[in-house]
Each structure stands twice: as C-alpha cells, then as structure tokens.
Amino acid sequence: MTVARGGVEVGTELPAQSFTVRRVDLIRYAGASGDFNPIHWNERFATSVGLSDVIAHGMLTMAEVIRVVTDWTGDPGSVVEYGVRFTRPVVVPDDDAGAVIDVTAKVTAVHEDGTVQVAITASSGGATVLGKAHAVVRLPA
C-alpha cells in the first residue's frame, strides 16, 4: 500500500508511532552498524564520561523515527532527504521497559516536482530528543 500525492496537503498528519528501545536493541544495533562506542552498552564507561546511564545510538533513534514516514509512504525508497539534529540523548535503563520514543510528523510543504516535505518530532519521557528533524519524500502521482 503506497500513499499518492493526491489528498496530501500542507498540514496532513502522518500516523504517530512509538518505539521501544531496550538494552538488547542497542547491542543488536551496535553489531549491525559497527558502532561499538561503549557509551551505548557499558554503564560503567557511560557514567565515567559524565552520562547518567547508557544512551541509545543517535543513529538508532534516527533509524526508528523515519519509520513514521516510510510506513506512511509504503515505499522506503521514496525518501530523498532525511536530516536530524541530536539535541538530547535517549537514556536506556537496564530494565525490561527500556526507553520509549514518541514520534509525530506532518506535511509542511508540497512541491511541484512531486516531493513533499515532512516535519518530524521525537521525544522520550516527554523531552524532545531530535531537533530540526525533517524528510523529503517523492510520492507517486
């Protein structure tokens, strides 16, 4: 199922989603991405460099968040641009609940070349974790 350009306008809201990140997800992402920075899996190291606890890879948060857009378009290849600013770390406690990232998105521009711009918000525990998060996607006519 893919969304088409017709019916999409400035202000169109994408279905919001929430993503849970647990310690095991950080281990799995470290392995898949090759980013083994110990602040993402070693509490002893994380606290030694001044963090309150282990934090999620910014790139894992970025990867989860864009799903609000790719699930909406139904075609992950539709993303022509995606950018974020990492404003606050996602702290992942060593428990079964983990951290939850809440994501919303809405269309902020519809361009004549068939692309639309989407503004994205992401927060964890009520605090914003990404700034200036945005995507540009190409939608079929």
CB of 40 to other proteins, least distance (A): 11
Closest CA to 54 of 18, 25, 13, 17: 25
Residues 33-62 that bind other proteins (CB under 8 A): 33-35, 49-51, 58-60, 62
Q: Out of 10, 15, 83, 114, which residue is the one contacting other proteins (CB under 8 A)?
A: 83
Among 66, 92, 118, 120, the residue binding other proteins under the rule CB under 8 A is: 66
Q: Which of 131, 57, 133, 135 lies closest to 89, judged by CA?
A: 57
Using CB under 8 A as the binding rule, whether residue 90 contacts other proteins is answered as no
Q: Between 51 and 110, name the residue whose CB sits nearer to other proteins.
A: 51
* 98 contacts other proteins (rule: CB under 8 A): no
Give yes or no for residue 85 binding other proteins (CB under 8 A).
yes
With CB under 8 A as the contact rule, the residue among 16, 80, 109, 127 that binds other proteins is: 80
Q: 111 is written with which tokens?
A: 């361009």
CA gap 39, 31 in Å, rounded: 14
Residue 97 CB burial class (10 angstroms; 0-12, 13-18, ≥19): exposed
SS3 assignment, position 10: coil
Question: Of how many residues is the chain composed?
Answer: 141
Closest CB 115 distance from other proteins, rounded Å: 11
Q: How far apart are CA 112 and CA 106, in angstroms?
A: 18
CB of 58 to other proteins, least distance (A): 5
